[in-house]
Amino acid sequence: MPLDIEYLFLKRNPFIKLTFVLIIGVVVSYYNALNNSILVGLFFLSLALVLILFLQKKWIISYRNNYLFGILIYISVFIFGLSYSNYYIHFESETHFAQLSNHNSILKGTCIEAPVLKKRSVQYLIEINKVIDGHFEKETNGKLLAYFPKENLDKLPQIGDVIYFKTQINQISPPSNPQQFDYKSYLNRKGINHQAYISINQFTIEGSKNSFYRTAQNIRSLFIANLRKSGLQEKELSIISALLLGDKQSLSQEAKESYSKAGAMHVLAVSGLHVGIVLYLLTYLFNFIFGKSKNTFIKTVLTILFIWAFAFVTGLSISVLRSAVMFSFIAAGSVLKHKISIFNTLALSAFVILLINPLFVFDVGFQLSYAAVIGIIVIHPKIYNLLYVKNKILDYAWSITVVSIAAQISTFPISIYYFHQVPIYALLSNLFVISLATILLILGIISIVISFIPQLLFIVYWLLYPVIFTLNFIIKTIADFPFATINSLHISIFEVSILYAFIVITFVYFTTKKTIHLNISLGLLALLFLSDHIENYHLKHKTDFYIYNVKNQLAINITNSNTNELKLSSNDDYDKKRIIRLLKNNWGFLDAPSPIIKTLDHKKNYILTIKDKRIAIINTSVNSKLAPKLVNLVLIGFNAKNMTEIATTYPSNRYIFNNNIWKKKRTKLLVDSRNLNLNTFDISKDGYWMLDCN
């Protein structure tokens, strides 16, 4: 008797369950370093059991055995998630270049991504292929984030170039101040843990490797060059380059801030929105050509080919690749729409993406893309059907508005968690942005197709200008509205979970109209307010003393929910603004008010008393004739002289060395401290310090 899939426990929406289990395994592994050899052994053992039991068809048909078979599959996928992500995060193989190289080694690598222009340098991602140390050569692996000088752009490598170089390799540092973006963890999830600066005389280019990425980037560069020849003004050119080809390097800071305030920044990064628009346009086009119900297979194949062609032209960035995979599965799922649900198709696409790299689950783009698509699929029809609009233009405007509403509802918890802000006028801006972005994509794709016919190309660019100008004007106008964004919003993972549970249960209530669902959603809302109240109560009764890691500056901070006193050694307005930008996320997290800034004389010593804590700030010589004053903390600053005198005059269990001490002097003071067996902490090396004053 052939095995009927209906008897299997996983017969209904299997990939929703399997992807969920895989994600749990990845998350557990990320926060726990596990023995990879044991995990691999357990995975193959569980897989062998699954295969053996699968062959016992009569055994599986039994409901009880079928249930156990399903559980065993989940266990196998969970262990696979543990093992696979553990390899990415915690396992650095013996052939990794960091294990085999030293300061005398020559490294051979390939530039695997297009260069990115930074303020003072050019950033490259290099795959290290070989380590050469004298006569010793070893094939190796691993990725290195490299920075080259910006002054000699014509001499720098391009994507696909093979280079030999010799320089100092450093581990990427963790955040040096509280609530800063954790760049180390962000890169770690991409398999990058080391960085280096390579000067113009420290490398040589030895040929290049042809690859899809190199070809894609060359084509992308060609189209960008054609755009530059079109006569578009720089402001409009930068927008179309970003929207169509993902080239954001020429975007001004003003443009980025305007789009961010208006809640339309997503339009400037080629990703899910753009691929989704392309899918929508292709579906409409092929339905018009072939008919809605005919040649479904051909339409699907052509749609997927065009999606990947678009991904190729835009440079095959990670976000575009991820979106292309997701929407390819959605397009393919439309062929089987009577046999498979859209949610199972989405889950399958996520499963495949996580097989490519399990750490994508932590990528904010991955999370926002799937949250937005699910929200649009689930919420859009319900809201759209609340209002019937006879006029086609108004109906289109209503539909676009509902798409924006659905996407905003499904993504705002994630947005608050990562970006700590809510654009107030996002619904208004997206009403125009999605429509105008669609027009720009159509014109942009046409310009790509006819890019080698200058006469026709001029007409397309003539049409592009008013659309881009209108988009920029609308975004700038909305961004200038009062209270365009609510900033300094901070929520925990727990609160994100409560928000999503509230959204889901509230939606279920409006579908079923059952009182129990209303009560649960109100209970979740009460739990959210209770969590926020407990957190605020804790912060209100908490006073902290911070020493921040600010280069060449003394920056100390006394905070609670009522006061925020920032003491700086500089009175320069530029320094103040720079430091405030650096620290504002921490103040938002602490629910602290705007800072009161005071200036400390960096040539004087101070004693601060905060509640029952005493802190000595030593910027110059101390009076060793004074009786010893026991303090909780000693901050060694600008021009401290003698560690023996400091330790004798101010006995403490901790001596902190600030970042404004000259390097040579700091080294001497640290050596003296070790000789005196003092407990020390170096701000410049180890980051900020916080003293709980409660």
pLDDT in tens, 472-500: 888 888 888 887 777 778 888 999 999 99
How many residues are recorded in the chain? 694
What is the amino acid identity at position 88?
A: Y
316 and 460 both lie in a single domain: yes
Residue 465 makes CB contacts below 8 A (sequence gap 6+) with 232, 233, 236
522 and 568 both lie in a single domain: no
Q: How many domains does the chain have?
A: 5
Distance in angstroms (rounded) separating the CA atoms of residues 605 and 639: 10
Calculate mean pLDDT across residues 602-624: 88
Q: What is the pLDDT of residue 2?
A: 39
**pLDDT over 50 at 89, yes or no:** yes
Radius of gyration, alpha carbons of the chain: 29
51 and 64 both lie in a single domain: yes
Range of the domain at 308: 217-360+437-485
* pLDDT-derived band at 8, boundaries 50, 70, 90: very low
Q: What is the pLDDT of residue 10?
A: 46
Judged by average pLDDT, the poorest of 65-74, 503-512, 513-522 is: 65-74
Tokens describing residue 29:
């592994």
Report if residue 505 sits inside a domain: yes
Tokens describing residue 436:
């105008």
Asked if residues 147 and 121 have their Cβ atoms less than 8 Å apart, the reply is yes
330 and 459 both lie in a single domain: yes
551 and 516 both lie in a single domain: no
Report if residue 249 sits inside a domain: yes
What is the amino acid identity at position 413?
A: P
Distance in angstroms (rounded) separating the CA atoms of residues 567 and 545: 11
304 and 334 both lie in a single domain: yes
* pLDDT-derived band at 12, boundaries 50, 70, 90: low
Distance in angstroms (rounded) separating the CA atoms of residues 471 and 464: 11
Asked if residues 274 and 441 have their Cβ atoms less than 8 Å apart, the reply is yes
242 and 325 both lie in a single domain: yes
Report if residue 415 sits inside a domain: no
Q: What is the pLDDT of the chain when averaged over all its residues?
A: 83
Select from 178, 209, 240 the last residue of a domain. 209
What is the amino acid identity at position 81?
A: G
pTM: 0.81
**Residues 149-200: tens digit of each pLDDT:** 988 788 899 888 999 999 999 989 889 999 888 888 888 878 888 999 999 9
Tokens describing residue 316:
């095959």
**pLDDT over 60 at 688, yes or no:** yes
Calculate mean pLDDT across residues 606-628: 86
Report if residue 387 sits inside a domain: no
* pLDDT-derived band at 135, boundaries 50, 70, 90: confident
CATH (domain of 192): 2.40.50.140
Residue 73 C-beta-side C-alpha neighbours within 13 Å: 20
Distance in angstroms (rounded) separating the CA atoms of residues 250 and 234: 8
179 and 282 both lie in a single domain: no
Report if residue 646 sits inside a domain: yes
Q: What is the pLDDT of residue 78?
A: 92
Select from 158, 180, 209 the last residue of a domain. 209
Asked if residues 129 and 180 have their Cβ atoms less than 8 Å apart, the reply is no
Judged by average pLDDT, the poorest of 112-126, 328-342, 377-391, 616-630 is: 328-342
Distance in angstroms (rounded) separating the CA atoms of residues 29 and 362: 12
322 and 455 both lie in a single domain: yes
Select from 64, 89, 114 the last residue of a domain. 89
Report if residue 534 sits inside a domain: yes
Distance in angstroms (rounded) separating the CA atoms of residues 679 and 676: 9
Report if residue 79 sits inside a domain: yes
46 and 59 both lie in a single domain: yes
Give residue 478's Cα distance to chain centre: 26
**pLDDT over 80 at 9, yes or no:** no
* pLDDT-derived band at 93, boundaries 50, 70, 90: low
Report if residue 549 sits inside a domain: yes
What is the amino acid identity at position 522?
A: L
Q: Of 196-205, 324-333, 478-487, 560-569, give the range with the top mean pLDDT.
A: 196-205
347 and 293 both lie in a single domain: yes
Q: What is the pLDDT of residue 95?
A: 76
**pLDDT over 80 at 694, yes or no:** no
Distance in angstroms (rounded) separating the CA atoms of residues 362 and 503: 22
What is the amino acid identity at position 536?
A: N
**pLDDT over 50 at 6, yes or no:** no
Per-residue CA distances from 206 to 111, 126, 163, 164, 344 (Å):
12, 14, 6, 7, 47
Distance in angstroms (rounded) separating the CA atoms of residues 569 and 556: 9
127 and 53 both lie in a single domain: no
